[in-house]
Structure 1
Amino acid sequence: MSPSPPNLGVVVPTLNEADRLPLLLADLARLPVAHTTVVADGGSTDGTRDLALRRGARVVEAPRGRGVQLNAGARAVGEAPWLLFLHADVRLSAEAGEALAAWLRRGDRERAAFFRFGLEGDDWFWRFLEFGQRLRERIYGLVYGDQGLVVSRELFHDVGGYPEIPLMEDVEILRRLRRRVRVERLPATLRASPRRYEREGRCYGWLRNAALVSLYLAGVGPERLAAWYGPMAHGSGEAPSGRAGPAADGGGGPGASRKASRILLVFAKAPVPGRVKTRLASALGPAAAA
């Protein structure tokens, strides 16, 4: 008797993830759902592709960029009716696997789902970030790539797949999905590595990411945000997409060897003639001072 076809296609974008990918692949090997795993690699040089092949994953090469890689992986999974998108640095616990399996058994292809956000380790700051993400999720409906995405193949194609933009592809696809269907949170946590915060600086990374997401939701284009964010925005690795901050690891990426560019945000009111406070107002006149 031939084995049953995969019910689920798992897509993992990577860029230099030889250290973290084996952990996720081991978790997926215990997943209680018939599945196939596709690693969509954006040009790794650390043996990530060979490692994935040795552990039974299918590998597809794609131009660097998380949205591009995720779409390439989705095309390569075959005919599985369900898709699960995961970042390479998350851990899929047994609890998360069971929650996923139970949700899939419902068979409602007009819904999508994600996991609770978590970070590895016992540090109080990681719990603070998790709490902040729960608030953003509840108030603004923001769900980040570290929380995974479970969606039917049909619905994924109906919303156009992931937008192939430099940043915020996970925020944008969730906005598209919410316009069409109910998006649910699964009763289990995906835990991601806090490596980015450790490398960049905890408060800096958190504030920078929050600012970028706020600017995106206010209408600033992802290309402009990418230019502000710097070189790390253009890899599948640590470009802001949403992760609590928006930086979501699709791979170890350029962030592993390059520091983030610094961003200075200045907020000011538009000047009104006659109401500008400056020492030069008396000499210049109200209109000129404005």
Structure 2
Amino acid sequence: MRPNPGQISIILPVLNEEAGIGATLAGVCGLADVEIILVDGGSSDRTREIAASYGVTVVRSEPGRGRQMNLGAAQATGEILLFLHGDTRLGSGFDREIRRILEEPKVVGGAFELRIEGPEPLLRVIEWGVKWRSRLGQMPYGDQGIFVRAATFWELGGFAEMGIMEDFDFVGRLKRRGRLAIAPLPAFTSARRWQKWGILRTTGINQLMIVGYYLGISPARLAHWYRSATLK
């Protein structure tokens, strides 16, 4: 089946996101040539019911963000895929901005500017670092909303189903195909991780995962370490 030209398929891999999924969906529903596919990894709360009330497609999946995103992409009918976290909101005009950016042949994909929804000054420092990492290093992460042409996504084999670092791995492969553009619009993401585990601790854990990835430590071991570190 050929994808619908110009259509954006938004894929949301979620697990127990009832607290924020309504706000996420409210910002993306009702737009022309935009379809929404929510892939639930086994939520025990009201995530699926809330999503269904917005009239979006709800798909059940085994847990695992890479698996969920690939399953959503396989059901998508759009020419463009946008992978969005369940606790991230996009502002008005995001769809027009994505289409504008991907009209540039040398651009293979992109993401949005990160805005963390918390008042702590250190969060502004993190946003500043993400801005330069994304623009100069061409390495946006999943909480910025990653968009890509569907054809390119499948040529790259989709996301590796590796338990952790799926977005990091995919973006690393994607940027070898061309330039990644950062849209001058914000992706507002929840500050809950930084507030729950501490800003410095959360940042340190994330950086250790990146170092471990580059050192060739198995994703299964990294995922185990991540769960252990964030459960303390």
Q: TM-score, normalised by structure 2?
A: 0.90
Distance 2:72 2:92 in 1: 24
Could you tell me how far apart the structure 2 residues matched to 1:148 and 1:36 are? 15
Partner SS for 2:216: coil
Distance 2:138 2:37 in 1: 28
**Amino acid in structure 2 at the alignment position of 1:207:** G
1:92-241 to structure 2, matched below 5 A, reads 92-104=90-102, 106=103, 108=105, 111-138=108-135, 140-230=137-227
Instruction: State the shift of 1:107 in Å.
Output: 6.9
Aligned length: 229
Larger radius of gyration: 1
Q: Does 1:63 align with 2:62?
A: yes
The AA in structure 1 aligned to 2:219 is P
C-alpha change, 1:95 and 1:82, in structure 2 (3 Å) is closer
Richer in strand (by share): 2
The CA deviation at 1:187 is: 1.6
Question: Which digits, 9 at most, give the CA deviation of each residue in 1:57-99, with x for residues without a partner?
Answer: 101111100000001111122x211111100111101153442
Aligned partner of residue 162 in structure 1, secondary structure = coil
What displacement does 1:110 show?
6.2
- Aligned equivalents of 1:222, 1:171: Cα separation in 2: 12
- The answer to whether the Cα contact below 8 Å between 2:29 and 2:54 also exists between their aligned partners in 1 is no
Deviations 1:103-158, CA, capped at 9 Å, x for gaps: 35x27496211111221133212101111222333454321101111111111100
Pairwise CA distance, 1:215: 2.0
Q: Taking structure 1 as reference, are residues 107 and 59 closer, same or farther at Cα in structure 2, changes over 3 Å only?
A: farther
Does structure 1 residue 260 correspond to structure 2 residue 227? no
In structure 2, the CA distance between the partners of 1:22 and 1:6, relative to structure 1 (3 Å rule), is farther
Shift of 1:261: 4.2
Root mean square deviation of aligned Cα: 2.2
**TM-score normalized by the length of structure 1:** 0.73
Give the equivalent residue in structure 2 for 1:52.
51
CA contact (8 A) 2:101 2:181 kept: no
CA contact (8 A) 1:9 1:80 kept: yes
SS at match of 2:176: helix
Aligned to 2:21: 21
Gaps of 5+ in 1: 232-258, 263-290
Aligned counterpart, 1:80: 78
